[in-house]
C-alpha cells in the first residue's frame, strides 16, 4: 500500500497482501473474518475507483488446479491463493490492512493461472 501526500491515506497496490472482512459470503465463495487477500489490480485503478481486484488465501489445501501454494515463497502469509476466486471489493469499506508485499514470482503464478480462465 502506498502513502499519499501527507502520509495519512494508504491505497492498495498490485502485490499487496491485505487483511479484509469478506462477509457476507454467498454459495461457494470464500468468506471469513478476517481473511488475507492478494491485490491484483494496479494502484491507479484502486485509487480512482475505491475498489480493488483480489484473490483470497485459505489454509485448506485441496489440490485444486487453481491453487497457488505459498510454501515455496519466503513470506509470512501461509496457505494457498485461490486464483479462480477473484473478487472486486471496496477496500475502504472492508478496512483493508496491509500485511506484506507478495513475492513477485507468486504474483506471476497467480496471474498466469487467472489468465487461463480468461482465454
The number of folded domains in the chain is 1
Q: What is the CATH number of the domain that holds 38?
A: 2.30.30.110
Cβ atoms of 2 and 43 within 8 Å: the answer is: yes
pLDDT in tens, 14-44: 999 999 887 765 554 456 678 899 999 999 9
- 45 φ/ψ angles, rounded to the nearest 5 degrees: -65, -45
In eight-state DSSP terms, residue 83 is T
| Strand pairing class (97-101; 67-69) | unpaired
Residue 66, domain extent: 2-118
What pTM was computed for the model? 0.87
Integer Cα distance of 119 and 108 in angstroms: 16
Amino acid at each position: 500500500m502506498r502513502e499519499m501526500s501527507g502520509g495519512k491515506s494508504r491505497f492498495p497496490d498490485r502485490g499487496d497482501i491485505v487483511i479484509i472482512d469478506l462477509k457476507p459470503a454467498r454459495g461457494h465463495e470464500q468468506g471469513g473474518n478476517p481473511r488475507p487477500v492478494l491485490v491484483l489490480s494496479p494502484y491507479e485503478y484502486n485509487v480512482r475507483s475505491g475498489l480493488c481486484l483480489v484473490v483470497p488465501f485459505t489454509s485448506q489445501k485441496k489440490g485444486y488446479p487453481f491453487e497457488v501454494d505459498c510454501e515455496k515463497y519466503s513470506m509470512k502469509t501461509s496457505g494457498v491463493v485461490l486464483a479462480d476466486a477473484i473478487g472486486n471489493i471496496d477496500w475502504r469499506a472492508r478496512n483493508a490492512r496491509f500485511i506484506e508485499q507478495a513475492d513477485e514470482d507468486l504474483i506471476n503464478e497467480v496471474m498466469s493461472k487467472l489468465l487461463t480462465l480468461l482465454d
